[in-house]
Amino acid sequence: MPLSIEHRPDEGRAVATVHAALDAGVTLIDTADSYHWHAGETGHNERLIARALARYGGDTSGVLIATKGGRGRPGDGTWTVTGTPGHLKRAAEASAVRLGVDAIGLYQLHKPDPAVPWAESVGALRELLDAGTIRSAGISNVTTAQIREAYGILGDGLVSVQNQYSPAVRDSEPQLRLSTELGLAFLPWSPLGGISRSSLDGPSGPTSADTAFHRVAARHGVSPQRVALAWLLSRSPSVIPLPGASRPASITDSAAAARLELTATELAELEEPLTPRAA
């Protein structure tokens, strides 16, 4: 998302960031048709990802591109929600064209539309699966009840749940537990919320440069962001965090979290509320 929304980098750096992710062993790239900045450029990020993959010199056959539909950006900084079956089916077909694929590997319903019955929106994913437009389905920003209802409609076609989950935002614990129980991948978005190297206020809420994450990071000689991602990976084997990046160095650092081993004592320390240590 950071490669296409407000204050995005130029295309050269954006492509270099994607290539750095692939070089680091990343095999899941998450995008959406609504990841763009200006009006009239729906699918900017999908097209960018497709160009970056086409220019990559290595093997990309094992890379899964996950995209989403059901949200929009009119160009004034706001986000809309449209979960009608007709819109979702048209959006998926358009995403497949932009990505240059016969079938989308993972297509996710971006957010429930309060104006549309949930079963109708999920039913569109069922139709897309049956038509071969998508190979697997996911849902995002959902409750446990919505996960259960979607699972009942999609069965094995449902493979992922994408909710906000981070050191600062942990209220999706029930959805994480249910995803693990059902064998679904749990994809935390904004997984670095609350973690900052220096600022005390960040876009995802209060942050601090002196939390348990920073202290554990100092002991390992790594970034607090890497510790946050390693902590997320420890929560469940179903967890696959989705850290955003707009520089090659950022995604390279994030990918290294898969090799960072945290002790039981450190994991217990990271259960503390995300507040700075008292002076």
What are the residue ranges of helices labelled H in 100-189? 118-131, 144-154, 173-182
227 and 243 Cβ atoms separated by less than 8 Å: no
CA 93 to chain centre: 21
Closest C-alpha to 235, from 204, 265, 271:
271
Among 35, 107, 151, 165, the active-site one is 35
Question: Annotated catalytic, 107?
Answer: no
What SS3 state is found at 229? helix
Dist. CA 185–CA 64, nearest whole Å: 13
CA distance 126 to 120: 10
Q: How far apart are CA 78 and CA 99, in angstroms?
A: 25
Q: Are 144 and 174 in contact (CB under 8 A)?
A: yes
Separation CA 206–CA 110 (nearest Å) = 25
Cβ atoms within 10 Å of 266's Cβ, excluding its own: 19
163 near 189, Cβ under 8 Å?
Answer: yes
Only one residue has tokens 């967890």, namely 239
CB atoms within 10 A of CB 234: 16
Tokens 């929600």 correspond to 81
- Looking at the annotation, which residues are catalytic? 35
